[in-house]
Amino acid sequence: MSTHGEMAMTETGQATAASAADTLPEPPARPNGKVKTLGEPIVTVEQVHKSFHGNHVLKGVSLTVRQSEVVVIAGRSGSGKSTLLRCIDRLETIDDGRIVACGNLMGFRETNGRRVALRDHEIARQQREMGMVFQNFNLFPHISVIDNITVAPIRIKKVPRAQAREEARALLERVGLPEKENAYPRQLSGGQQQRVAIARALAMKPQVLLFDEPTSALDPEMIAEVLDVMVDLSHQGMTMIVVTHEMGFARAAADRVLLMHEGSIVEDAPPEDFFTKPTSDHTRAFLSKILQH
């Protein structure tokens, strides 16, 4: 990851994103030559609270993520990072607050100011707009790599089989595993499995990708191959919320870095500010701990 340099932020893109695309001013180029424009808010988390059996895990978390933005979330074990991601994708219910993602109020329908809980298939339809990549990959072990990637498009989106397979092959190419389509997950290394998991998520053409410590379960020599794919995705404008302690990735690809501490977001800054002039003592403590290693 040391090859990825620092990047300038594109504040102008954010400020004018609400207007129509053709009236946008030319956004400044990044050091790597890519141009990045942040769009409208696509994920909005407002004052979300979540407890597990009296254990208050999210304490009024608010967060806005714009289209094409890459947000990295760091924080100690148990600070609520996974819970936040899982609430955004409605893998967990929330106790209070609201989450709007890809235009959907997650888990509810609002009629005349009253909230009605959505039913199973309606929630599933909301979840289709987002993809999630897990720490332990969670590939389906009983089906081959290509079936892992095509099963949801074919069975859920009713994409024709031939088309789904063609798209899956293109995705495998994109994550650098073109020759593995007939392998089974257990025949792959951790890094390869995680890249298949990313391809599986992409196959549903999600508007947002959520990553929960995607490299934490990997041997050190496999971390780079996964991060490279993620950096690539960020360059192609994918909106990403990434829980990770890979600060090299944060420097290379993040627009903002957040620190969670005991269920609250205590720092929210562009990477260079996060690393050089943090405002929170918790961030300083976190950074000094990271730098020791």
The footprint of ligand ATP (CB under 6 A) covers: 52, 55, 57, 75, 77-83
Among 22, 26, 120, 179, binds other proteins (CB under 8 A): 120
If we measure between CA atoms, which residue out of 126, 49, 118, 106 comes closest to residue 83?
Answer: 49
Which C-beta is closer to other proteins: that of 90 or that of 256?
Answer: 90
Tokens of 172: 């495998």
153 three-class SS:
helix
Q: Residue 179 CB, nearest distance to ligand ATP (Å)? A: 33
Task: Choose the contact partner of 158 out of Mg ion, ligand ATP, other proteins, none; CB within 5 to 8 A by kind.
Answer: none
Q: Which two tokens stand for residue 113?
A: 């100011």
Residues 133-162 binding other proteins (CB under 8 A) are: 134, 136, 138-143, 151-152, 155-156
Residue 244 as a binder of Mg ion (CB under 5 A): the answer is no
82 binds Mg ion (CB under 5 A): yes
The rounded distance, in Å, linking the Cα atoms of 259 and 162 is 44
- Is residue 277 involved in binding other proteins (CB under 8 A)? no
Nearer Cβ to other proteins (142/293): 142
Please enumerate in sequence order all residues whose Cβ is within 8 A of that of 89, keeping only pairs 6 or more positions apart, or say none: 101, 106, 127, 130, 132, 210
The neighbour count for residue 26, using CB atoms within 10 Å, is 9
List the one residue from 186, 221, 277, 288 that touches other proteins (CB under 8 A): 186
Helix, coil or strand: residue 84: helix
Residue 268 makes contact with other proteins by CB under 8 A: no
Does the protein bind other proteins through residue 127 (CB under 8 A)? yes
CA distances from 34 to 8, 29, 37, 168 (A): 11, 6, 10, 26
> Which is closer to ligand ATP, CB of 74 or CB of 139?
74
Angle, alpha carbons 118-47-131 (nearest 5°): 55
Tokens at 104, concatenated? 């959907």
Stretch that binds Mg ion, among 81-89, 153-161, 185-193, 283-291 (CB under 5 A): 81-89
Give yes or no for a contact between 278 and 271, defined as CB atoms under 8 angstroms apart.
no
Q: Which residues bind other proteins (CB under 8 A)?
A: 86, 89-91, 120-121, 124-132, 134, 136, 138-143, 151-152, 155-156, 183-187, 200-201, 204
